[in-house]
Amino acid sequence: MSGLATLCNAGPLIAVDGRSFQLKGRTLRHLGEAEAQILYMRGDLRFAVSEAISGLSKEQQVDIWEKLLMKIRFRWIGCNSEDIQRFYSSLEGRIYSFWQSVRHNGLSADESQELYFKGLESDSTWESRIKYAIETATGESDYSRLYKIMGLTRVKSDYTDEYLLPGKASLFASLFSEPFGYTPDQIADMTLGQISLVATKHGTAYEDLKSELSLVKQKQNMGIRKMRSTYAKAYREMALNIVEGRSLTSGLTN
């Protein structure tokens, strides 16, 4: 049955250093862990910026922080798919991805790293084959995209040529529906391919994406104008809190 490996998150059996391990595909939980790792490495922006502008007046510091907060918003505490893919493309990220895919075999992060380098030493193609195996089981590889698995929606546009996760409304309607709804933990342990198979119905994900994009494109949209004006004061208050050494949101002294 074509696509069964993706549906079951069934990875191949690999041999490293005379030992055999089964790989598994990347799940939603794995992506969440990667985001957490990136944020940990990124550190708290407040320390770096505060040190860089410490010689300026209080008003200048508040102005800089206000503009910065308006620019970064959610990007400070979150990652987009590009951030995560860039991390997985680095050496550290490739080793981290390998550990995520084999740790169900009882391997620690340090053991996985040691095996990774032994695999590199023994076979020049080993790393690319591991990457391909993980992406195939996940449903992310280029070859996985050559065909449609029943129920999967893909859209090629100026914005994306990837598997589309459903929007919040369709996610709740599909995955949490009674009487056999999935729990958040179960969803976290699904691959992107599995989520698309289970949740995407009749182009719902595409419609969700179109609606969201049209909102962004309408610069005169009343909802967006109202949202921006509503948060303008909050940005100023948060900037003042940071400069005065208080909590970003509560105003309490750190």
Q: What is the pLDDT of residues 171-198, one digit of tens each?
A: 556 665 655 567 767 777 887 777 766 6
User: pLDDT tens digits, residue range 22-40?
Assistant: 999 888 889 889 989 998 9
- What residue type is assigned to position 12 of the chain? P
Tokens of 125: 């193609």
pLDDT of residue 90: 92
Confirm whether 241 is domain-assigned.
no
Radius of gyration of the chain (CA): 22
Q: How many helices (H) and strands (E) does the chain have?
A: 13, 2
Confirm whether 237 is domain-assigned.
no
Cis peptide before 184 (omega within 30 of 0): no
Confirm whether 174 is domain-assigned.
no
Confirm whether 115 is domain-assigned.
yes
Band (251; pLDDT cuts 50, 70, 90): low
Question: Which has the higher per-residue pLDDT, 102 or 165?
Answer: 102
SS3 of residue 36 by DSSP = helix
Q: The domain containing residue 71 runs over which residues? A: 1-147
Phi, psi of 33 (to 5 degrees): -65, -40
Confirm whether 33 is domain-assigned.
yes
Q: Please, what is the average pLDDT of the chain?
A: 74
Confirm whether 59 is domain-assigned.
yes
pLDDT of residue 198: 64
pLDDT of residue 103: 95
**Structural domains in the chain (count):** 1
Answer yes or no: is pLDDT of 223 > 70: no
For residue 73, what are the contacts with CB-CB under 8 A and spacing of at least 6? none
pLDDT of residue 181: 66
Question: Which has the higher per-residue pLDDT, 195 or 238?
Answer: 238
Confirm whether 208 is domain-assigned.
no
Confirm whether 197 is domain-assigned.
no
Answer yes or no: is pLDDT of 249 > 90: no
pLDDT of residue 171: 54
